[in-house]
Amino acid sequence: MQFPIISSTLALFFLLGAVDARYVPGIYNLQDNVISTIIVDPNGLGNFTSVQQAIDSVAPNNTAWTRIHINYGIYTEKVQIAVDKPYIYIEGDSDRQPVIQYADGGSILTSPTFKARADNFVARNIIFKNTYDNIGADLLDANGKRKTTTWAVALDVSGDKASFYHCSFSSLQDTLSDAKGRHYFYDCTIEGLIDFIWGHGQSIYEKCTLISRTDVIGGTAYITANGRGGADDPSGFVFKDCHITGSGPANLGRAYGTHSRVLFYRTDMDNIITPQGWGNPWNAGHEGTIEFAEVECKGDGANRKHRINWEKNQTAQEVRILTDTASFINQDGWLEKHPN
């Protein structure tokens, strides 16, 4: 049975109490300018039974927000929001978050479970998974651990002005492709083993939990792999008030760009971080232009005594610019224009 797409006013009434529509108090006064809501339900109690069907129903080049409310369930499908589908907001319920998952690996281009290519995208209370590296008895050794792993992306976000709230991203290798654009992640969980947050994005991760999974196949984890390519490139990854946990040993990251930039600020690090902190860069000889930094971090893994000698000691002004949302990613106020 198909249900009519709900107008903005009725949608708010229908979802009141069922959806955690609260944004972080004291940070943004987000406007609710959604004009329609589409319901996705795996049992047919909505407009569509798949997430991709709902996205396909949105008119291209729309200029007003469309909310897609995804009822609880496991949606085994690949989803893509094309470049011409801006202003889409997907959400689940906070107490029973829906799962969007798929098992594909071997290519950073074709493996992603979810691709967000359009500008102005919001996700709230969604679990994104790529299960490729976690399934199949033929991929396990005699002790039940994975023999090898490969690219298996859960989320690929390449549009500008994307924000994620209370979401989870799970895979082993290349979990979150923060490919390009300005992005904001709040209270999200990202887990993986190899380069599990990577790309050329210009992003702030605030109060997020980063989980290292060396317990799956052993070895050393690499949390980030940033690809910033030049001194004038504004991109980089900033982790603010985050928590690093899971199994180790784990490096905070490694550079695959000549000017890679990653800052961990006021981050709580469990005792799983390697003494050196960072792995060797792909581009040897560029250590002087790579900006890896830790500022005011805490926890047993935050001891910098034996860190690499080319870790950057940033000035207070540099730290302020990178950790201030307004100056680093929100210069034109796009976050305030995202729906509540």
DSSP 8-state code for residue 4: P
Amino acid at 243: H
- Closest by alpha carbon to 229, among 281, 160, 154, 151? 281
Considering the candidates 133, 156, 178, 195, report the single residue annotated as catalytic. 195
In whole angstroms, what is the distance from residue 118 CA to residue 97 CA?
23
Q: Output the six-digit token pair for 339.
A: 């729906």
**CA separation, residue 269 to residues 166, 276, 316 (Å):** 20, 14, 21
- Closest by alpha carbon to 223, among 234, 214, 232? 214
- Closest by alpha carbon to 306, among 275, 272, 274? 275
Does the N-terminal peptide bond of residue 4 adopt cis geometry, omega within 30 degrees of 0? no
Q: What are phi and psi of 216, to 5 degrees?
A: -80, -50
Considering the candidates 133, 156, 160, 174, report the single residue annotated as catalytic. 174
Is 195 a catalytic site residue?
yes
Residues tagged active-site? 174, 195
